[in-house]
Structure 1
Amino acid sequence: MGLKGTLDVDSLKQLPVLRTLSFMNNNFEGPLPELKKLGALKSVYLSNNHFSGVIAKDAFAGMLSLKKLYLAQNAFTGAIPASLTTLPKLMELRLEDNQFGGQIPNFQQKELQVFNVSNNALEGSIPAGLSNFNANSFAGINGLCGKPLKACDPSTPVSPGPSSTSTTSSKRPSILTIVVVAIVGLVALLALIGAICILCRRNREPLSLEAPLPSNLQRKAGIKESNKLPQGSHENSGNNKKSENMKLSFVRDDREKFDLQDLLKASAEILGSGSFGSSYKAALMNGQTMVVKRFKQMNNVGREEFQEHMRRLGRLRHPNLLPLVSYYYRKEEKLLVSDYVERGSLAVHLHGHQGLGLPSLDWPTRLKVIKGVTKGLAYLYKELPSLIAPHGHLKSSNVLVNESYEPLLTDYGLIPVVNQESAQELMVAYKSPEYLQQGRITKKTDVWGLGILILEILTGKFPANFLQHGKGSEEDLAIWVSSVVGQEVTNEVFDNEMATTKNNEGELRKLLTIGLACCEGDVEKRLDMKEAIQRIEEVKERDGDEDFTSCVSEAEIKSSGVLSDEFSYS
């Protein structure tokens, strides 16, 4: 965001359970903030700023919960602070592209999985505890030696260890030491020759996903060498199967093809963390920008069943649906790839626009969004008739808006492939009154989700019961709206940033009434989808006007099948 200046840690002390601090890719400057004042932090991301100066030895003392520290691409000088070696839970440390000098402290944390000090001014031998990391972790430093780099000269200072002293480090090497170094060098040379022979034999085999890939997406998504989209044991027979396991499965023919390697190597940016996991914006070398979502809650569904459902979703074509482009299947987790939409989610425009400098949505735009969402739902009901809840996860963060503020539904049709226990905990359909009261969802459950979305769009209030640990009736938005409307103070319900006028008050109240009827707690009294669509289509921009913003004409709705006599809600 181009933020600059200094970070006021004392203000952040008022957040005692703050776990993650991220100000990467900005222009902050000055010395490292006093992070140890925030003792509960687990992750600190300050890479790619203009922080500088020497970091005190005890800068991280007492930060016993710290797991991830990213200080890369700054201008820090002096020694790497020794207090980092005392952090018992440290898993990731990124210090590359700074000006750190001196020797590398002796890191002995067994949980350390990511370590990078490349392009600094360090010297001496690499501590034994770090010798298993890739040579890229120490690239661009001429003063370092030892595994995984070249062997050290016997006169090279040894990096401090748990019991090392200035006396021992200054002693001249013994004959035994020289012999050991020579033997190690000989073994390393033989290993190198063997590795070259193996590579020559395999030069025609496809690259295995077990090999390290210097990939932004791979790194940001946490796909490490030991946790990297591996083939299952039953999939490792034969080169053809290996090649197939590396390929993305495309469900659309109107997109330029790319493979998994291209995706993992793409420049990546974390878009956010949703109910099921993180989403990443991946900029491919061919110019395409895609969104990758990781799902770990789909491991109870078989390969053939999953692939068939993905092909089914891939056949969906509608201007108010974000199309699935491709997917990657693996037993432990799945990747779903779709197009990137620049304007982001409806939730951001409703609840985060001020912080991002975006304009608030006016009444005509909100009405346009609601009608577009309704049109997309009508199509899903027609094309996925076997699903009780064709969307199943309808909420403002799963509605994107394009350049013309047309809504695009995402994360639809996933109930059949999500593990049941995860679906019940995370998905919107399972927060409906009928599921909380009777343990079941119905053909009217998505109508309830639509009703809550309408109330959220009109009031500007986030439905707290949609939070991951929400319990349905807890701070229920529908209950609050009903209570205010019951006091005949309807105007106080509407978002004051919606820019309404007296010419549209009647239509606003009409839509509010429809929203309440859609999220009626009694399923029998709730509108069905056909009734909801008809009534929403009757809402206009201004009282007494023709509807110039309608996204769904009656003819279009009838052609979609939602108004047909055969449509069943049983």
Structure 2
Amino acid sequence: MISLVLFLLLLCNPSALVSSLNGEGNALLSFKQSIYSDPEGSLSNWNSSDETPCSWNGITCKEQRVVSFSIPKKKLYGLLSPSLGSLSDLRHVNLRNNKLFGALPLELFQARGLQSLVLYGNSLSGSLPNEIGKLSYLQTLALSQNSFNGSFPSSIFQCKRLRTLDLGENNFTGPLPSGFGPNLFSLEKLDLSFNRFNGSIPGDIGNLSSLQGTVDLSHNMFSGSIPASLGNLPEKVYIDLTYNNLSGPIPQNGALMNRGPTAFIGNPGLCGPPLKDPCSDAVASPSSYPFLPSNYPPQNPDDSSRKSAKSRGLSKSAVIAIVIGDVIGICLVGLLFSYCYSRVCACGKDKDENGYGFDKGRKAKKECLCFRKDESETLSENVEQYDLVPLDSQVAFDLDELLKASAFVLGKSGIGIVYKVVLEGGLTLAVRRLGEGGSQRFKEFQTEVEAIGKLRHPNIVTLRAYYWSVDEKLLIYDYIPNGSLATALHGKAGMISFTPLPWSVRLKIMKGVAKGLVYLHEFSPKKYVHGDLKPNNILLGQNMEPRISDFGLGRLANIAGGSPTLQSNRMAPASDQKPQERQQKSTSSDGATVVSSASLGSYYQAPEALKVVKPSQKWDVYPFGVILLEMITGRYPIVQVGPSEMNIVQWIQLCIEEKKPLSDVLDPYLTEDLDKEEEIIGALKVAIACVHGSPERRPTMRHVSEALERLAISTD
């Protein structure tokens, strides 16, 4: 009977069946209800049966009060619940890199003790409410990579403890108000890049004496002159003003001094050092005489000739005699030029119109006698060159041997066709045909190709000779027998068999490529930057030793006037390309899926290469790191993760954050090499250092090479 009474009491009062959740827990459950999708179950242990939310995932409490709410990168899809503002002791909110959308609820700013609000990498929109100024304890405001719009709220200046202000990559508009300097004196990081701010740059930004790293105002619509007060910033601060509408001379004081042009590009109106565009002088020549030097004094056209003759003391008859002499001289030079030009044209008509392969221009070489070979140093850039030019004393073949040899197509690209050429004596060469026609800049081509021909290193493909004519431009290299690293790692369509590279060989290749880049960066005559490093450009020799190829090829192709559809250092970021353009897949004979590496070139480019004009050696460090990741993981530089894609750098960072075991990251073909785990992890650490987003934080190739050498001496 007693049991029945208890049952009826419980039935009448169902709340007695569960524990009573406190108010903060209910507020957080409201947030959970506003989340439409939680694919990783990040909120799965948020249960109303608990007394407090302090044991819930992502929640940190102090004295049973919620002080931190942190669930980053978990693909939460939904809205920010206004109930979060009722958490009176809340200090930190970190919901970065999720899929939250909608506006910031005004109630959120009722949590007056909030110290950090980190929401970057979502899809939040709307304006930034003025209520943000109520957060007087706020130190970090990171809202970049969203879709916020509207103007910059001046109420932010009430957050006088702010250290990080990151509003980059949004849609903010309008001018910036004054007030940075006198109010945000604790600010250490300022990023307003990739918005649509306009008007002039507030001069009081120069009073932010605590700033560190980079002050990023790039990719906006700021106009007017650069405030000289920006020079008052700490000298170690890098000021990025690229891609605005700024104009006038660049102030040369303090933090603005000794900066390279890369901090100012994309502002056509800027002038003066460090740019090559000089500022116009106050006494510049009138616009009707644009060919005169800028310091040329204004003239009266009516009396200029009279003054000239008078100043030199020449009589009228002397001037007439000089003019007649000049006319006669010009006529004689014209007749001589016409004679020589007719001889060259006659030679061109005698060309073998039925030539095949590399044969164009052979008869011209033998029959054109207007200019002798020993006069080639005095030729104009428009005069054709019809001879094979050796760049190595060991070159023992001539053009006739090359043209008679058997040729097989190795590959085609936007730069041209590459042939495997076997001479009669058995010597095998690789010949790249740069294309036909185009501008004839022989002298420029000659200077560039001869500089490249001087490079000698066991890990760089040697350029042995070249040939130039109007119709043909050829580069002759050593032939490297074992194909490219891209094929060795992933195979290619049509391969009958595929033998994966063991770890010892991969490490050997890593070391060799590093040594080749160290040579280019530090020991080559001009301390070169390769600028287009990728697995396709790393060839493998007889003993699988790596040889870096295609150095300087893009520039040579442009000079030669080919059809450079080559991938340049200014490719659009991958996010601007359609998936079918980024990955072109085919199936090999063994059923494996093979991705066309020609479609992956942008993933090997350093992020800053898209907006910085002057190449840096750190541009080579980044793709080297991507290649290391590719060799360690066996994955392409674009990784499929569920229905979405991410580049291999993002993917490896995600694996580290989620503490994935090495076996989940490692190329399956390397499972037998797990006894070399220490070496593999060492190489992985080197790769991660190389792909750092900031070029200043990446190691030099010398340090990279030394680190790899310490991993295992026995692999050399």
Q: TM-score, normalised by structure 2?
A: 0.40
Structure showing greater Rg = 2
Q: TM-score, normalised by structure 1?
A: 0.50
